Amino acid sequence: MIAQHLPALQVVVPLLSAPLCLLLNRARVAWLLSTAASWVALVIAVLLLQQVLATGTLSYELGGWAAPWGIEYRLDPVNAFVLVIVAGIGSVVMPFAATSVVHEIAAEHRVLFYTTYLLCLAGLLGIAITGDAFNLFVFLEISSLSSYIMISLGRDRRALTASYQYLIMGTIGATFILIGVGLLYMMTGTLNMLDLAQRIPSVADTRTVRVALAFLTVGISIKLALFPLHLWLPNAYVYAPSVVTAFLAATATKVAVYMLLRFLFTVFGAELSFEAMVMHLVLLPLALLAVFSASVVAIYQDNLKRMLAYSSVAQIGYIILGISFASVTGVTAGILHLFNHALMKGALFLALGCVFYRLGSVQLRDIAGLGRRMPWTFAAIVIGGLSLIGVPLTVGFISKWYLVLAALEGGLWWVAVLVLLGSLLAVAYIWRVVEVAFFQPAPRNAPSQEAPLTLLLPTWALIGANVYFGINTELTVGVAHRAAEWLIGGGG
Amino acid sequence: MQWLGLYNYWIVIFLMMAGFYVVISRSNLVKKIVGLNLFQTSVFILYISMSKVQGGTAPILKEGFAVYSNPLPHVLILTAIVVGVATTALGLALVVRIKEAYGTVEEDEIHNKDESL
């Protein structure tokens, strides 16, 4: 009975826990509730993924209204995988929050933090699960509005301006998406994604549909921080509380990438997106520019959080690069990197959260010599960094490997070379951290204590996942490959 | 004279660009929110325009009427209006907090205050 309603529960559990948090109005209880809700969401997501891998697709009619009229939740290998990523990161970040939030967020805001976190989780899961284009916009705004609030909770007053800037950019992006959906509705008279996919080919040659594709691509690109629309991202990540940065870096942009995949491949179809509209000619150069410009900027940052934020922009470049090949291997690489980047950035930002907990700062000069005083934290940063570079036995290697394969398969050997060069830039910015942390003497007043276990355990859980999925690639590559085949095949 | 018949779309485009321009060009944070609002409102008009059926009445079942305007975009846009109100409210709340923290709502002055730290 309840198994039948899992798709709805996936969104409803966090969505209803949010007001409950507010009503209970006790930080400790709110934390327990949001941790429980995240874990329940993860269990549901894993069950759904299993079901989807066994049967193909799963359709759920919300409120019992049949598909093209009512809102349909539709699960296929692509979004079932995204659900697991989002819920998984949520359930690792929440245990971390217990200690970190007490340290970083003012007492009167803690309950609000948990409430908005749950809303954000519900919104992100909703974007992934829904099969309705307008419903997607609504969930997007739920997750965006709550993430603006979460960012503004940072102690630094610049968190406010960062959040404001993100609000302006994010709203423009969301409005672009709204325009795109409206134009599609105008031409096809439907909002159901599957229905749209069937009806668009007959009107594909009209300017309206092409403009719709352009609006949707630009709107989503703002949300996923594709170069040069990434300007909101660095400040938002730097000034937000550590937990928020880790959660958003690992989930929000990833879900936006999923939206792009969904619209380019399922709704418009690869034929219209890549043959008629030559999206790859736009996405490929932007992706490469993102990789190089953001990596170079990252090398010159003295704030570690800002360094990782720019590195995020670069890594999103790799994901988009994979997608722009529009081949099964390319999209596999994109989806793999989507998962892998969530793991490494989640881990790295949590590790920085540990540093911030002891130091109250994440400036490069302040971590001098701390490698020996906080061995576990900095070991985590090193392993996460290696994964970011793409060293074998970490997840980063797997996605880079597939990316290079895809480039060679498409006959673009120079892109493969550029991917490898981009990794060298990652070596440069990670090395700076290692050098300062391990090879410089610690100042006398440096803290000599390791971060508390409640922070280290979640961090190491993600680091462990980085290594585990770097060695045992069966699950991730298998799912990503199936998802890519599904998207390219225009699977209905 | 087809373009004249599409005047509502011209209004949409004008409002959209005007709003967008205000967001980009003004450095006053409140004015930016106003521009953003204008930008969003233009999209509401786009949706409402497309739902109009020529000769159609309001979508209420009544004898003697067979042609109705499409009610779905109206409903969609009601949702989008709610989203717009929430965004504006949150934006203005942030501006209030920024004013408390910086004592100004001018972008360049805020920038200078952060730089001088």
Domain annotation covers residue A261: no
Among A438, A424, A149, which residue's Cα sits nearest to residue A291? Answer: A424
Closest CA–CA distance from residue B88 to any residue of chain A (Å): 10
Domain annotation covers residue A272: no
- Per-residue pLDDT for B107 more than 90? no
Chain A CB within 8 Å of residue B101 CB: yes
Domain annotation covers residue A309: yes
**pLDDT at site A246:** 92
Among A215, A197, A213, A190, which residue's Cα sits nearest to residue A71? Answer: A190
Domain annotation covers residue A435: yes
Domain count, chain A: 1
Chain A CB within 8 Å of residue B81 CB: no
Closest CA–CA distance from residue B2 to any residue of chain A (Å): 16
Residues of B in contact with A179 (CB under 8 A): 43, 46
Domain containing residue B10: 2-115
Among A89, A94, A101, which residue's Cα sits nearest to residue A17? Answer: A94
Residue of chain B whose alpha carbon sits nearest to that of A145: B87
- Inter-chain CB proximity B94 and A134 less than 8 Å: no
Closest CA–CA distance from residue B6 to any residue of chain A (Å): 14
Q: How far apart are CA A75 and CA A47, in angstroms?
A: 12
Give the model confidence (pLDDT) of A436-450 as tens digits. Answer: 888 888 777 777 777
ipTM for the assembly: 0.93
Mean pLDDT of all residues in B48-75: 82
Residues of A in contact with B102 (CB under 8 A): 157
The partner residue sitting opposite B32, judged by closest CB among A168, A185, A186, is A168
Residue type, A119: L
Instruction: Give just the sign of the alpha carbon dihedral A135, A140, A142, A143.
Output: positive
**pLDDT at site A452:** 84
Q: Contact A232/A166 with Cβ under 8 angstroms?
A: yes
- Inter-chain CB proximity B101 and A152 less than 8 Å: no
Q: Contact A260/A221 with Cβ under 8 angstroms?
A: yes
- Cα A245 to chain centroid distance, Å, stands at 11
Residue type, A434: V
Q: How far apart are CA A25 and CA A323, in angstroms?
A: 44
Q: Contact A99/A159 with Cβ under 8 angstroms?
A: no
Angle CA(A470)–CA(A253)–CA(A81) in degrees, nearest 5? 50
How far lies A304's CA from each of A105, A152, A348, A426, A434, in Å? 20, 20, 10, 13, 12
- Confidence grade of residue B117 (pLDDT, cut at 50, 70, 90): low
Beta strands, E only, chain B: none
- Inter-chain CB proximity A160 and B101 less than 8 Å: yes
**pLDDT at site B22:** 93
The partner residue sitting opposite A160, judged by closest CB among B23, B50, B97, is B97
Chain A CB within 8 Å of residue B97 CB: yes
Token representation of residue B110 = 């805020």
Token representation of residue A469 = 């999925």
> Rounded to a whole number, what is the distance in angstroms from the first to the last CA of chain B?
60
Domain annotation covers residue A403: yes
**pLDDT at site A492:** 43
Q: Contact A91/A41 with Cβ under 8 angstroms?
A: yes
Domain annotation covers residue A150: no
> At B59, which CATH number?
1.10.287.3510
Tell which B residues from 40 to 79 touch A, by Cβ distance under 8 Å. Answer: 40, 43, 46-47, 50, 72-73, 76, 79
At A299 the three-state DSSP class reads: helix
Return the DSSP state at A449.
-
CB atoms within 10 A of CB A464: 14
Q: Which residues of chain A, if any, have pLDDT below 70?
A: 1, 490-492
**pLDDT at site A90:** 92
- Kindly report the average pLDDT of chain B as a whole number: 87
Closest CA–CA distance from residue B64 to any residue of chain A (Å): 26
Residues of A in contact with B72 (CB under 8 A): 185
Q: Contact A134/A171 with Cβ under 8 angstroms?
A: no
Domain containing residue A480: 280-492
Q: How far apart are CA B33 and CA B59, in angstroms?
A: 34
- Per-residue pLDDT for B56 more than 70? yes
Residue of chain B whose alpha carbon sits nearest to that of A156: B101
Domain annotation covers residue A374: yes
